């Protein structure tokens, strides 16, 4: 029965990964990548496949290791989740590539929010008297634009591309088509 659950989980995660990655890859590829239509479609398929596969492998590994630990110790312990996820993260998301980098950064941002809320809930830090979100937003945007302007190479490539488009490419326009399509002209040969 557990094998069926793992198998179902594998296929479920594969579909979920495709639903998440395909639209993102489609937009980012057509906005920022050059090449033929065939090359772009291949890049979209590869990114979608990698994201889906990695998510499915991770969930399969995580659930399998949790079940194994519970079976060995005869009960579930909170540390089981952490250990299983650490092993799965190392094995599946430990390779430094664009897809894993985006997934790990996405999770890091949510983890920081979760840990902040947990720290307030447990009383480790006092409940803010005012909503801290405006300060958070100000710091995030201040830091990212400072890094972009003065240490651009430290930012992830897809963020660099997005910010270059928004803050550099928007300084140049050629004609009204720039407002309708994409304002960066191909390099002339």
pLDDT of residue 18: 75
What's the mean pLDDT in 59-78?
91
Mean pLDDT on 47-53? 87
pLDDT tens-place string over residues 1-38: 666 766 666 667 667 777 777 787 888 787 777 888 89
Q: For residue 56, is pLDDT > 70?
A: yes
**Residue 189: pLDDT over 60:** no
pLDDT for 45 equals 87
Q: Give the long-range contacts of residues 6-12, CB within 8 A, separation 24 or more.
A: 6/60, 6/63, 6/64, 9/56, 9/59, 9/60, 9/63, 10/56, 10/59, 10/60, 11/56
The model's pLDDT over 144-186, given as tens digits with 9 standing for 90+, comes to 999 999 999 999 888 898 898 888 887 777 776 666 665 555 5
Q: What's residue 124's pLDDT?
A: 96
The closest alpha carbon to 164, from 145, 178, 188, 187, belongs to 145
CB 88 within 8 Å of CB 63: no
Confidence class of residue 187 from pLDDT cuts 50, 70 and 90? low
pLDDT (tens digit per residue) in 72-112: 999 989 999 999 999 999 999 999 998 899 899 999 999 99
Question: Between 124 and 184, where is the model more confident?
Answer: 124
Cβ 56 vs Cβ 13: under 8 Å: yes
- Tallying the residues shown for the chain, one arrives at 189
The reported pTM is: 0.75
């Amino acid at each position: 029965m557990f094998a069926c659950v793992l198998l179902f989980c594998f296929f479920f995660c594969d579909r979920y990964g495709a639903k998440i990655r395909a639209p993102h890859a489609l937009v980012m590829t057509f906005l920022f990548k050059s090449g033929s239509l065939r090359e772009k479609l291949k890049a979209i398929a590869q990114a979608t496949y990698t994201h889906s596969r990695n998510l499915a492998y991770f969930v399969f590994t995580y659930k399998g290791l949790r079940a194994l630990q519970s079976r060995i110790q005869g009960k579930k312990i909170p540390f089981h989740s952490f250990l299983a996820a650490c092993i799965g993260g190392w094995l599946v998301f430990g390779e430094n590539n664009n897809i894993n980098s985006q997934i790990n950064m996405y999770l890091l941002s949510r983890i920081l929010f979760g840990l902040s809320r947990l720290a307030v809930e447990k009383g480790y830090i006092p409940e803010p008297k005012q909503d801290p979100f405006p300060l958070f937003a100000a710091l995030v945007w201040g830091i990212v634009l400072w890094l972009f302007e003065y240490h651009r190479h430290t930012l992830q490539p897809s963020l660099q591309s997005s910010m270059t488009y928004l803050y550099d490419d928007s300084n140049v326009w050629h004609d009204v088509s720039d407002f309708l399509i994409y304002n960066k002209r191909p390099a002339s040969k």
